[in-house]
Amino acid sequence: MSLTIPKIDSDKAIGEALAYKITIITDQSSWLLPYIQDVKAQWQLLGHEVILCHANMDLAGGDFCFCLSCSDLITQEKRKLYRNTLVVHESDLPRGRGWAPVAWQILAGQKMIPVVLLEAEDTVDSGVIYLKDSITLIGAELNSEWRELQAQATFRLCNQWLSEYPSVLDLAVQQTGEPTYFAKRLPKDSELDVNISLADQFDLLRVVDNVRYPAFFNHAGKRYKLTIERVEGDDD
Where do the structural domains in the chain lie, given as residue ranges?
10-182, 187-226
d(CA 177, CA 217): 39
d(CA 86, CA 102): 19
pLDDT digits (tens, 9 = 90+) for 122-138: 999 999 999 999 999 99
pLDDT < 70 stretches in the chain: 1-17, 234-236
For 156-171, letters b (16+ CB in 10 Å) and e give bbbbbbbbebeebeee
Based on its alpha-carbon atoms, the radius of gyration of the chain, rounded to whole angstroms, reads: 19
pLDDT at 52: 98
d(CA 155, CA 151): 6
| CA triple 132-133-138, angle to 5 deg | 150
Architecture of domain 10-182: 3-Layer(aba) Sandwich (3.40)
pLDDT at 233: 76
pLDDT at 224: 98
Query: For the packed helices 143-164 and 33-45, what is the interaxial angle rounded to 10 degrees?
Result: 30
**Other CB atoms within 10 Å distance of the CB of residue 233:** 6
For residue 54, the 8-state DSSP code is S
Nearest Cα residue to 93 out of 116, 62, 112 = 116
pLDDT digits (tens, 9 = 90+) for 152-179: 999 999 999 999 999 999 999 999 999 9
**What SS3 state is found at 119?**
strand
| CA triple 18-22-27, angle to 5 deg | 155
Task: Specify the pTM.
Answer: 0.91
